[in-house]
Amino acid sequence: MPTSSTLWLRVGRVMQLTLEGVAGATLFAMMLLTTADVTGRYFFNSPILGTVELTQLMLAALVFLSLPVVCWREEHVSVDLLDSVFPARLIWIRQVLVNLIVTGALWIMARRIWALAERAMEWGDVTEFLRIPNGYLIYLISVMLAVSAVLTLLRAIGYLLEGVGVLERGGPLSPEKGKGGDHD
C-alpha cells in the first residue's frame, strides 16, 4: 500500500510528465509548422497563412507550460550573489526566502494576468490575421504561473522542514548531494 509521500511523488511525476509532454508536442508542432511554411514558401511559392501568429501563440504556450517544471526542479537561471553571504549550514534559510519571494511574485503575476484574460474574453480579443481568441492563451499563462507559485511554495516548505531537521531530503547544496544536487 503506497504511503502519502509516495502518492504525492507519483502525482508530481504524472504532472511533470504531462506538462513536459504537452510542451514537447507544442515544440514539435512549431517545428512542423515552420518546416512546412519554409518548404511551401521557397519550393512552391505558397507559404502557410498565419504562420507567424500560430508560432507566437505556440511559443507563449511552450514557455509557460515549461515554467512549473523549471520551478519545481529549480533549473531556472540563477546568479550566485548570495552564496558567499550565507554559511553552508544556513543555506536552507536562503532557499526558503528566495522561494517565498518567487512564490509571491508568481502569485501576483498570475492574478494580474487572470484579470487580463477575463478582460480579453469580455472584449472578444482575437489575433489580427487568423482571428484566434487570445483569452484562452492568457488563461493558460495565468494558470501555469499559479501552478508555478504553488510549486515554489512547496519548495520553500520543503527547505524549511529540511532546515529544522524534520525532513532529510538533500537540498541544492547539502553535503549528501553536493553542489547543484538532485532536485527531483
pLDDT at 53 over 70: yes
Least confident interval from 32-41, 86-95, 150-159: 86-95
Confidence class of residue 4 from pLDDT cuts 50, 70 and 90? low
CB 137 within 8 A of CB 53: no
Q: 133 has which bridge partners?
A: 126
CB 80 within 8 A of CB 172: no
- 88/130: higher pLDDT: 130
How much is the average pLDDT of 28-36? 95
CB 90 within 8 A of CB 30: no
Give the sign of the dihedral formed by CA 59, CA 65, CA 71, CA 74. negative
Per DSSP, the residues of 84-101 read TTS-GGGHHHHHHHHHHH
CA separation for the pair 22, 30 (Å, rounded): 12
Burial of 64 (0-12, 13-18, 19+ CB in 10 A): buried
- For 26, the grid coordinates are 507544442
pLDDT at 51 over 50: yes
CA separation for the pair 106, 27 (Å, rounded): 24
Tell me what pLDDT residue 32 has. 96
Give the sign of the dihedral formed by CA 118, CA 119, CA 124, CA 129. negative
* Share of residues in the chain with pLDDT > 90 (%): 62
Confidence class of residue 2 from pLDDT cuts 50, 70 and 90? low
Mean pLDDT (the chain, rounded): 86
CA separation for the pair 164, 152 (Å, rounded): 18
pLDDT digits (tens, 9 = 90+) for 139-182: 999 999 999 999 999 999 989 988 888 877 655 544 444 444 44
CB 106 within 8 A of CB 151: no
Give the sign of the dihedral formed by CA 31, CA 36, CA 42, CA 43. positive
How much is the average pLDDT of 84-100? 85
How much is the average pLDDT of 2-15? 75
Instruction: For residue 151, count other CB atoms closer than 10 A to its CB.
Output: 25
pLDDT at 67 over 70: yes
- For 3, the grid coordinates are 504511503
CB 110 within 8 A of CB 64: no
